[in-house]
Amino acid sequence: MKVITLGTGSPLPDPNRAGPSTLVRTSSGDFLFDCGRGVLMRSAAAGTGPLGFHTVLLTHLHSDHTTDFNDIVTTRWAMSPTEQPLRVIGPVGTRRFADLTLAMLEGDIGYRMAHHRDLAWRPTCEVQEVSDGVVFDDGAVKIIAAPTDHAPVRPTVGYRVETEGRSVCIAGDTVPCEGLDQIAAGADVYVQTVIRTSLVRAIPSSRLQDILDYHSSIEDAAATAARAGVSTLVLTHLVPPPWPGTEEEWGDEARAIFAGDVVVASDLTELEL
């Protein structure tokens, strides 16, 4: 199994960081977790793309985590030699989100079907809404969901991928909570979106101060990792974007609490398990 942080950015545009998205490559295929801005460009650099995605899994429906969902839908459809519905797993509300995306794309769908005679089917999504428990199991790969806490964004979920005796926790946006502890317990890799509290507090914007109460800080993520007994903590979705050369300051804050390995992810960071 391989974990690739395709995008490690946040809602704040950064020329070096695409929107939040993590790829977990397994023997059963490539599972894409969230799809922020630029995900298809980053996936191309990782040697995959819409036709290579086994399933797209959404942690929640905030725009920065779903910005390029429409790009995945359109590009997969337009590139497919035969009809291939996009498999999507996400919290309650994902089916409506997919339906609204297809409705938004209606004009483009019509243009392409009118021009390409061999494009005789419409794009479709096979959506599975989940909240807790096993959401995928083909005998080689098992994926488990658990509710997380990103209130007032509800519902939100995190995921645990298990295969060949290894495990990865993809947390999404959340503060520490019971569901997060469940999917992180004993994980080889724990991928957590984080904010650096001291930097956010230094920015004179009440709207930015608001993010402090529904994201994990670096300290929160480190404490969760220590409590869960994970091997490697991966910090992603870094808010605010680190000034080049200061990335290890983020890692050092985590290491003060967590004794395992800490990775301050960049786009296309790869971890082989």
pLDDT tens track for 197-239? 998 888 888 888 888 888 999 999 999 999 999 999 999 999 9
Report helix, strand or coil for 123.
coil
Instruction: For residues 185-199, give the mean pLDDT.
Output: 96
> What pLDDT score does 210 carry?
85
Residue 272 lies in a domain: no
Residue 112: pLDDT over 90: yes
Residue 95: pLDDT over 90: yes
Q: Which domain holds residue 202?
A: 2-266
Residue 229 lies in a domain: yes
Residue 222 lies in a domain: yes
Q: Tell me the two tokens of residue 84.
A: 């291939």
Residue 128 lies in a domain: yes
CATH at residue 201:
3.60.15.10
> What pLDDT score does 226 carry?
98
Distance CA 59, CA 72 (A): 16
Residue 98 lies in a domain: yes
- Residue 92 is classified by DSSP as T
Give every CB contact of residue 199 below 8 A, 6+ residues apart in sequence. 240
Residue 271 lies in a domain: no
pLDDT tens track for 18-35? 999 999 999 999 999 999
> What pLDDT score does 28 carry?
98
Q: How many domains does the chain have?
A: 1
Reported pTM: 0.97
- Residues with catalytic roles: 64
Q: How much of the chain exceeds pLDDT 90, in percent? A: 93
Distance CA 35, CA 270 (A): 17
> What pLDDT score does 241 carry?
93
